[in-house]
Structure 1
Amino acid sequence: MDVRPARPARFRVIVLAAVFAALQLANVTGRDSPDSKNYLSYALSLGGAGKHDAASLTIDYVCAGRASLARRDQSVDVLRFHAPSPTRRVFEECRSEQWRGVSKRLRAGQTSGHTVPFMSARFMRIFEARPGYPALLAPFVTVLGVKWGVWTSSVLVTVGGGVLAFLVLRTLRAPTVAALTGQALFYVLPCGTTAMRPMTEGLLLDLTLAALWGCALALEGRARAGSLLVGGSLAALFTVKHSQALFLGLCLTGACAVIGVRHGSARRPLRGLTPPLRVVGAVAAGAVVVTVLAARALRYPSESESLQDLLTGHFAVPDRTRPWPEFLHLEADFWVEWLRRELWEPFALAALAAGAWGVGRQRPDFAVLLLAGALTGVLNQAGHPDITIYGDRLIVLVWVLPVVGLPLLLEQALRPRARGLDAVPGPLRTDTRVTR
């Protein structure tokens, strides 16, 4: 089956992406998080900048963003909106603060690696193990400069996520209107906002959706294309954030096993899988093994190091002597507080439930795979149970569930209208064996 959009559908995809990109001009700066400067300095280093130049460009970008936000906040402050602009003061104070720490560490000899030493060498090793996003960012900041290079790369990553959502839905034989709804949902839900920030989360969303697209292709019987997409996505994820590659590989392997048990038996789950899904399951399982071995061979920070980073506030205090009991205590408290906050404003829980219902009702086999992709967001958050981390970015991958599931929930209402709008020919199917 050819899932490439027909010309009218392709035009709508481009228009939707262009409208989203134009709206992002409202916030060109001020989107960075504390981690953004580490990735940006890495990208500048890949482009040939020395430590001092990379530090100067990164600090200026971060401080310009802070100054812009300060000015905007002041302009709507009921007591200070008529006061002089704080832009210059905030910029200079930020610049002085950032250079103070960087200069001290550079003088102390912390000059190895690609990143500028904004924090201790032990903490910066975490970012040295994530070259994927800086490698993507490097050509943009080299050609367009830091400000517009960061913005343009973020727009393209986010636009790509929406297009991938469209392709996943079209591969599942959803009408064009439903697929366009999925693209729009990616842009307007928190996944779009988070993907626009100069961090790894946008790429994590894109690569997870690419892997899910491969799974959808496998359900359609296209083993080669599906396995290549899944394997390529997991390989790319390793360069962006290797723990996420491990999570997705484990979850997709488990999902294939669940589908096998559903159609076969617990003793012989492989009999319940079509050959393409067997290949996808084998690729995902192989990726888990390769990820673990490669991370050890490259001496990437281990889970115990990540645990100490969490519990010591980025190594600001001595290591914990009993980290695991403290971690489990924090984990339990975190999820209680997280659930309390979500019940206070239950939009996210409602969207997740509706998405799960939609995909489970219309595409039960793919529902298992989609839930596996969403589960990686929960695992990522569980590995970092810190309620103060910048927004809900760590759990953002759960939003792939409503992005794909909600359009499928609306599919029955949309399908009569979609008959003249490039509906995919052929039966609407949940997998290669079952037709409705």
Structure 2
Amino acid sequence: MSAAGARRVRVALPLLVCVLYAVLQLASGDRWTLFPDSYRYARAAEQYLGASRAEAHRTALAAFCVSRARKEAHEARLRPTVVTSERVLEAEADRSCVRRWADAEDITTADPRYQAIFSARPGYPLLAVPFVGVLGVLDGLRLLGLLTAAGGSLLVFGLLRRGAGLTPAAALTGQVAFLVTPLGWWSAQALGEGLFTMCVLGVLWGGLVLLRGRVGPGAVAGVALAYAVAAVTRYSSALVFAAFMAAAVTGTLCFSRHRRHRGAAVLAGLSALTAVLVGVAMAVLSLPSSQTTLQDTFTHHFTAPAVPDPWSRLFGLAGRYWQDWFAQQAAMPYFLALTAVAAWTLTRHGDGLGPLATATALTGAFVLTNHPLPQEADRLGVLMWTPVVLGVPVLVERHGPRLRTRDGTRLVARSWARHQVPDPQPRPVD
């Protein structure tokens, strides 16, 4: 194959992975559904399109009920004692859902404190506006979910291929790993996780470029833009992520002479500035804080009286939750095993990826600690999978049986060397 043909294949393969992923997701059928938060995002998108609050509620509720009715009917039809047709079951479930919430202001609660939590996060609904406007709520959000999941996987590929300098095979491994782990699954849902994950990956890509000393306006602008979009998508998580990034990069500056350069300082400064600006914006705009979300947790969406000391309750609940979490992981330790291998690989061979992946994983663990709810743990802690998605490709690169050149040197060493030291001579065509 000619060099031009090989380049076209390398470009086409990541896109082919995205297409195959989309086909598989569409084949899943009724397993994709709207969540209660999806209803609120859809309602906000309809309001941005000009609908009144009541009209937006009816449109979002209709889509929510249809998606839930399809799933309930499909699951009911799998029971051996159910003989009613799936169509009849779906119609009844849809009517029941609409009757239940038609006259309500929200399917959870109309409490202003609860509504403020979502109105302060306009990023995902604004992104959904053109999709909902053209295709409607269900089809629009389904397409948006596929695009955010595919986009996240392409960012992983670019981060590993262009940012880390890995081979196409290793970068494809990371792309596939992203799509088959909870990172990909939650990115495809009608929630803000997909957009926020793309922002995180954008920060990691630009941050890796800066951490390796390649300071340029593109990397700085990319990190700043990713932080900005993350802040309007989920400002509290953006603050935590930026704070952990600032701490991780500052630690790298202190303990690694190899990383003491302007790029690392710029990344640490950008991250610290983002954390400060988000904190100031929360205070100035009176955005819901951790105190509000804790009361939401312990009062079951403000339907019970406020608790006097939510923080002490949180510490107790979080302690019990993490004990149970480790017990579950010990019973089926695939996540712990993968994370341990990935962490070891990134520590030894990550060349800057290690601190960034650690900061991202700690963000997921911190968010989960602040919301230790078993029914939402998979979603809230999804960023804890980041070391696996980034570490496994490095392991493939370092120890894959076909990753040696004819002279026995490793491709990863040669690839990283090209990024560290400019080649003054044109390379011969293979």
Q: TM-score, normalised by structure 2?
A: 0.89
Q: What is the CA–CA distance in structure 2 between the aligned matches of 1:342 and 1:101, rounded to whole Å?
A: 40
Q: What is the CA–CA distance in structure 2 between the aligned matches of 1:118 and 1:375, rounded to whole Å?
A: 31
Deviation (angstroms), 1:416: 3.3
Give unmatched runs, 5+ long, in structure 1: 106-115, 265-270
Is 1:307 equivalent to 2:307 in the alignment? Answer: no
Is 1:350 equivalent to 2:337 in the alignment? Answer: yes
- Give the conservation status (yes or no) of the 8 Å contact 1:356–1:367: yes
Which string of whole-angstrom CA distances, capped at 9 and with x for unpartnered residues, describes residues 6-37 of structure 1?
43211001100111111111245542222111
Deviation (angstroms), 1:432: 4.8
Query: What code does the residue aligned with 1:160 have?
Result: G
In structure 2, the CA distance between the partners of 1:272 and 1:176, relative to structure 1 (3 Å rule), is closer
Q: What is the CA–CA distance in structure 1 between the aligned matches of 2:356 and 2:419, rounded to whole Å?
A: 12
Is 1:377 equivalent to 2:380 in the alignment? Answer: no
- Give the conservation status (yes or no) of the 8 Å contact 1:218–1:276: yes
Query: What code does the residue aligned with 2:192 have?
Result: T
Which string of whole-angstrom CA distances, capped at 9 and with x for unpartnered residues, describes residues 14-61 of structure 1?
100111111111245542222111111111111111122211111111
- Give the conservation status (yes or no) of the 8 Å contact 1:363–1:429: no
Count residues with an aligned counterpart. 408
Is 1:396 equivalent to 2:382 in the alignment? Answer: yes
Which residue number in structure 2 is paired with residue 212 of structure 1? Answer: 204
Deviation (angstroms), 1:76: 1.6
- Give the conservation status (yes or no) of the 8 Å contact 1:157–1:196: yes
Give unmatched runs, 5+ long, in structure 2: 1-5, 422-430
Which residue number in structure 2 is paired with residue 51 of structure 1? Answer: 53
Deviation (angstroms), 1:65: 1.1
Which residue number in structure 1 is paired with residue 253 of structure 2? Answer: 260
Instruction: Specify which of 168, 184, 189 is matched with residue 159 of structure 2.
Output: 168
Q: What is the CA–CA distance in structure 1 between the aligned matches of 2:138 and 2:415, rounded to whole Å?
A: 48
Q: What is the CA–CA distance in structure 2 between the aligned matches of 1:214 and 1:80, rounded to whole Å?
A: 54
- Give the conservation status (yes or no) of the 8 Å contact 1:133–1:199: yes
Is 1:90 equivalent to 2:78 in the alignment? Answer: no
Deviation (angstroms), 1:354: 2.0
Which residue number in structure 2 is paired with residue 23 of structure 1? Answer: 24
In structure 2, the CA distance between the partners of 1:314 and 1:429, relative to structure 1 (3 Å rule), is farther
Which residue number in structure 2 is paired with residue 111 of structure 1? Answer: none
Percent identity, aligned pairs only? 28
Q: What is the CA–CA distance in structure 2 between the aligned matches of 1:285 and 1:6, rounded to whole Å?
A: 39
- Give the conservation status (yes or no) of the 8 Å contact 2:212–2:352: no
- Mapping 1:106-117, distance limit 5 Å: none
Describe the SS at the equivalent of 2:416. coil
Which string of whole-angstrom CA distances, capped at 9 and with x for unpartnered residues, describes residues 204-223 of structure 1?
21111110001121134322
Is 1:241 equivalent to 2:234 in the alignment? Answer: yes
- Give the conservation status (yes or no) of the 8 Å contact 2:397–2:403: no
- Give the conservation status (yes or no) of the 8 Å contact 2:63–2:138: yes
Q: What is the CA–CA distance in structure 1 between the aligned matches of 2:49 and 2:359, rounded to whole Å?
A: 37
In structure 2, the CA distance between the partners of 1:430 and 1:117, relative to structure 1 (3 Å rule), is farther
Which residue number in structure 2 is paired with residue 113 of structure 1? Answer: none
- Mapping 1:270-419, distance limit 5 Å: 272-389=259-376, 392-414=378-400, 416-417=402-403
- Give the conservation status (yes or no) of the 8 Å contact 2:342–2:390: yes
Instruction: Please give the root-mean-square deviation of Cα atoms over the aligned residues, in Å.
Output: 2.3
In structure 2, the CA distance between the partners of 1:291 and 1:77, relative to structure 1 (3 Å rule), is same
